[in-house]
Amino acid sequence: MESVAFLPRPGYPDSVDRQRFDLCLRGGTLVDVRRGVLTGAAVAVTGGQITAVGDENELAATAVRVIDIHGGVVVPGYIEPHTHSILANPAEMAYAIGAHGTTTAVVDGLPLMMTVPPDQLPGVLELLSSLPVTLRWLIRLHPQTFADEHVFSLPALRALWRRPFAAAVGEVTRWPDVLAGDGDLLAKIAAAREDQVRVEGHAPGASLERLRGLAAAGFTSCHEAISAAEVANRLEAGLYAMLRDSSIRPDLPDLLKGIPDGAIAAGRVMLTVDGPSPIFLDDFGYQDRLLAVAINAGIEPLDALRMVTVNPADYFGFSDRGEIAVGRRADLNVLQSLDDPHPTLVIAGGEIIAEAGRTTAPPPLPLASLIPPPRLPDLAADFFTRSDGALPTLRFVNDVILDLGPDAEPALRVMLVDRAGRWVTRAHVAGFADRLGGLATTISSAFDPLILGSDPADMAAAYRLLAHQGGGIAVVEDGATVFSLPLELGGIFSPRPWAAMVTANRQFLETLRERGYPFADPLFSLLFLTFDSLPYVRLTSRGIWDVRQRKIIHPSQPL
């Protein structure tokens, strides 16, 4: 295993030379997660830093505001090592997860890399990383489909991952290409490791031998274990393991069984939600929920806390957070007890963002001027009635896995259209809905328009509405609009508040369930329908792609 260099706990000062403190939390117990020590003491905050730890009477005497936490427990703010923003823009998502105690999140940068003009991208990532709830970015090495590969040149990527807003590179979903010796990917991974940047893997189903090969190639972690044995394999191969629990992969209770003795204390295990939909987060919570699942499964509370504080902080080199110590960033959660990880008070960067069930909203950001809406191509009316010969049928096995189905199976038409109007990939898709006039969306792996349905006229109307509203989702049936959600920020995010996105997400789920959608979350079904690395078949810019055989079953056609 790779050695872990922990920052030493002894040696931090007890206070910084300050005349007055902005805030003092008194009457509780502070948790040193690294050493497993609980101390009755107060903590003082000035600006965005922890500036004193000690006697509560002394610190309270010189504080502008004093909060008595009445026997509560103060723990570091939680750190999410791998997530995605869906529907809601990243600033709204940041405050939504912040209300649940996550004060730092490592977020997939792919949507912004694909939709923001390259000269504006660093500024957008930096702006979004300046919030009290800190966002740090995963810099992708390649797209999730075969379009726009030119955006991912090594010089352009290196300029991004060397910026302070970057946390790591990845996730690298084309792991079979890495093992096959893809020169471009290997060069990018080697360059990242040369710069001492972590490389996030995405290797579902990889054997122990292949995981060892990925570790040798430069991968440092993987979040795709779905069984206890797969967790153990990742750790044995020398990778860090991010244990996931989400709406479509609620695997954590079993994954915890695969952790060998000492792996948590060695810093090699973390917990991730991996990008929930707004309604899942609203209904169930975020990393506070993962901690509750882990504790209920028998993990000691301090070990559970390590997996969302010091372990991700050490892994990514976030030396200013993850612990309660003078000079560290003032990211703090107040709990009623160690057994209850749902915070009653959340402080991020010295700001109170959630208290007694009340939450604050993010500051206004000029995202609309920085993330332009998509310009979708004009499509002729007969486009929706054309056929490219005998088309294969793709069948949903679950939310995100697609296999080839029998051609006689009842199916919808589906087409993926290039944003620039250069090509179209057509097929049939079964198992998504029993009836659906027309649905058009820019929620796809490359954020190209995806259109599906049974009625060409409704499909055409849904697409026209999608183009008019600036991307997002549009559903039309019998010529009438039954659902519409504009996502004007690149066709992927909305400028609207979090609560509005939760409501829209519920309405969309209900709309599709009424039409026979059988799985947990249609957002992920649509997003991954075009993802070139998940089994077994996908719609891509090249055509219908057989993921395992690495070949085109039916080619795309020029427009």
Average pLDDT for 493-503: 97
Question: Which pLDDT score is estimated for 372?
Answer: 94
> What CA–CA distance (Å, rounded) separates 486 from 441?
10
Give the whole-angstrom CA distance, residue 529 versus residue 517.
14
The three state secondary structure string of 58-110 is: HHHHCEEEEEECCCCEEEECEEEEEECCCEECHHHHHHHHHCCCEEEEEEECH
Which pLDDT band holds residue 389 (cuts at 50, 70, 90)? confident
Average pLDDT of span 279-299: 97
CB 420 within 8 A of CB 377: yes
% of the chain residues with pLDDT over 70:
97
- Higher pLDDT: 49 or 534? It is 49
Residues of each domain in the chain carrying CATH 3.20.20.140 = 77-321
Kindly indicate the confidence band of residue 409, based on its pLDDT and cuts at 50, 70 and 90. Answer: confident
The SS3 of residue 188 is helix
% of the chain residues with pLDDT over 90: 91
Residue 15 reports pLDDT greater than 80: no
- Given this model, what pLDDT does residue 8 score? 33
Write the DSSP symbol of residue 381: G
Tell me: the pLDDT tens digits for 435-469?
A: 999 999 999 998 999 999 999 999 999 999 999 99
> How far is 16 from 434, CA to CA, in rounded Å?
64
d(CA 315, CA 333): 21
Report the run of H or E that residue 313 belongs to, with start and end: helix 310-316
pLDDT category, 407, cuts 50, 70, 90? confident
3-state secondary structure of 311: helix
Q: Is pLDDT at 543 greater than 70 in this prediction?
A: yes
Residue 511 CB-half CA count within 13 A: 22
Place of tokens 């830093």: 49
pLDDT of residue 347: 98
d(CA 46, CA 19): 10
- pTM of the complete model: 0.95
Q: Determine the Cα–Cα distance for residues 478 and 458; give it in Å rounded to an integer.
A: 7
Tell me how crowded residue 292 is: count the other CB atoms within 10 A of its CB: 17
- Dump pLDDT digits (tens) for 213-261: 999 999 999 999 999 999 999 999 999 999 999 988 999 999 999 999 9
Measured between alpha carbons, how far is 155 from 187 in angstroms, rounded to an integer?
Answer: 11
Provide φ and ψ at 259, rounded to 5°.
-80, 120
Residues in the chain, overall count: 559
Q: For residues 294 and 386, give the distance between their C-alpha atoms in angstroms, rounded to a whole number.
A: 52
pLDDT exceeds cutoff 90 at 551: yes
d(CA 521, CA 244) in angstroms, rounded, equals 17
C-alpha angle 96-323-341 in degrees, rounded to nearest 5: 45
Task: Tell me the mean pLDDT in the region 292-321.
Answer: 98
What is the rounded distance in angstroms from the CA atom of residue 124 to the CA atom of residue 520? 32
* Dist. CA 434–CA 94, nearest whole Å: 36
Q: What is the mean pLDDT of residues 171-192?
A: 97
Give DSSP secondary structure letters for 227-275: SHHHHHHHHHTT-EEEEE--SS---HHHHGGGPPTTTTTTT-EEEE---
Tell me the chain's radius of gyration from C-alpha atoms. Answer: 24
3-class DSSP string for 20-56:
CEEEEEECCEEEECCCCEEEECEEEEECCEEEEEECH
Does position 470 have pLDDT exceeding 70, yes or no?
yes
With a cut of 80, say whether residue 10 has pLDDT above it: no
Q: Using H for helix, E for strand and C for coil, what is the string for 464-530?
A: HHHHHHCCEEEEEECCEEEEEEECCECCCEECCCHHHHHHHHHHHHHHHHCCCCCCCCHHHHHHHCC
Distance CA(465)–CA(379), nearest Å, equals: 12
Specify the pLDDT at position 151: 87
Alpha-carbon span 84 to 110, nearest angstrom: 9
Q: Strands 21-26, 42-46: parallel, antiparallel or unpaired by DSSP?
A: antiparallel
Residue 123 parent element (H or E): helix 121-128
- Minimum mean pLDDT among 9-13, 35-39, 85-89, 354-358: which range? 9-13
* Inter-residue contact 492 to 364 (CB < 8 Å): no
Q: What is the mean pLDDT of the chain?
A: 94
| Closest to 463 in 3D by CA, of 383, 395, 386, 400 | 383
- DSSP, collapsed to helix, strand or coil, labels residue 161 as helix
Distance CA 492, CA 494 (A): 7
How many angstroms separate the CA atoms of 537 and 49, rounded?
50
Beta strands per DSSP E along 126-219: 134-139, 166-172, 198-201
- Rounded CA separation 513/524 (Å): 14
Does the pLDDT at position 1 exceed 70?
no
Mean pLDDT within 287-306 = 98
Distance of alpha carbon 153 from alpha carbon 140, whole angstroms: 11
Strand partners, 68: 26
Q: Is the pLDDT of residue 9 over 60?
A: no
Exposure pattern of 438-450 as b/e (b: 16+ CB <10 Å)?
A: bbbbbbbbbbbbb
The closest of 129, 127, 126, 124 to 106, measured between CA atoms, is 129
DSSP state of 384: G
pLDDT (mean) for 55-84: 97
CA distance 427 to 454: 12
> How far apart, in whole angstroms, are the C-alpha atoms of residue 148 and residue 546?
20
Q: Cα–Cα–Cα angle for 180, 186, 190, nearest 5°?
A: 150
Report whether pLDDT(4) > 50. Answer: no
What is the mean predicted confidence (pLDDT) over 145-172? 94
CATH 3.20.20.140 fits 77-321, yes or no: yes
